[in-house]
Amino acid sequence: MPARPGAATLLLAGALALATGCGGAGSTPPGAAAPAVAPAAHPAAAQLPATASATGATGPVGPRPPRHHAARRPAPRPRIVADFIPLTPRRRAETHAYARRHYGLDLARLIGPHVIVEHYTDSDTYSSAHNTFLADVPDSELGELPGVCAQFIVDKTGTIYQQTPATFLCRHTVGLNWTAIGIEHVGTSDAEVLGDRRQLAASLRLTRWLQARYAIPTANVIGHNESLSSAYHCEHVAALRSQTHDDFNRGDMDIYRRHLGAGPVGSSRGPGAALHGPSCAGPMR
Ligand SMILES: [Zn+2]
């Protein structure tokens, strides 16, 4: 009898997702995921020529630019509360081992980063999500170390909490952790986050700032549910190549991306942000 997910399976998946601090677990058959972002080059070929930023011009001082020019300035840094989880030598070693296993990389930091992934916690409080990240224990879904984490959590109050340095490698999205910054939102559905004025405004401020800081185009701001169609998706463990979660699907991310706007001035990376050293290669999708 063909295996089809029944109610019990779905309930179990939901329970596992709750335990791992992210949207519901799901698996999309290869080929079923529609490309969620504009086709992009393989990361190794994705470096476009740097484009001078109009805002960096050093000409004579003139009149203030009109407002529509002001809107294209790099996004300001939002208020961020540091609430870091301890990056112990053990956790760093576990992160190195994870990067070797999944990406063929011996490191505990992001290369790039090229992607921002939006999530919701499937919980109602900041503290429950933070405590999940704090505990360096195998996650109940995949049973791996290090414990899961995301670099940022946006609370329902609109407070942004930072969990690790922005470029520490956190486990939040299978296939993309080597190059993606994760932003969790306290909540239990895409709609809940998108409908929360304070939380959404804070999320957009944070994402725009990270986009500007790392020259990440809006097309590479994706939802967890869009992970399989990212040009940067890369996973060496065959059993996980079609693994994703249900949080922030394409329809809801289209709404989020419309709120974001065009992203940083110029979508190309400057020389300082170029991809250095090795990148995840091999089983790219
Ligand atoms: Zn997620």
Q: Is residue 33 part of a domain?
A: no
Ligand 1 mean position, distance from CA 224 (Å):
5
Q: Is residue 29 part of a domain?
A: no
Ligand 1 mean position, distance from CA 46 (Å):
25
pTM of the full predicted structure? 0.76
Residues with Cβ within 8 Å of residue 265, at least 6 apart in sequence? 53, 54, 55, 72, 73, 74, 212
Ligand 1 mean position, distance from CA 4 (Å):
23
Q: Is residue 22 part of a domain?
A: no
Report whether pLDDT(268) > 50: no
Q: Is residue 104 part of a domain?
A: yes
CB 248 within 8 A of CB 190: yes
Ligand 1 mean position, distance from CA 133 (Å):
13
As for how many domains the chain has, the answer is 1
- pLDDT at res. 279: 80
Ligand 1 mean position, distance from CA 44 (Å):
26
pLDDT tens by residue, 40-72: 333 433 333 233 333 333 333 444 544 544 445
Residues with Cβ within 8 Å of residue 282, at least 6 apart in sequence? 104, 234, 236
User: Which domain CATH number covers 99?
Assistant: 3.40.80.10
Ligand 1 mean position, distance from CA 266 (Å):
28
Q: Is residue 247 part of a domain?
A: yes
Q: What's the gap between Cα 59 and its chain centre?
A: 37
**Residues spanned by the domain of 243:** 76-260
The phi, psi pair for 125, rounded to 5°, reads -130, 150
Q: Is residue 99 part of a domain?
A: yes
Q: Is residue 164 part of a domain?
A: yes
Ligand 1 mean position, distance from CA 58 (Å):
42
Q: Is residue 7 part of a domain?
A: no
Residue recorded with tokens 């250095």:
276
Ligand 1 mean position, distance from CA 77 (Å):
24
- pLDDT at res. 173: 98
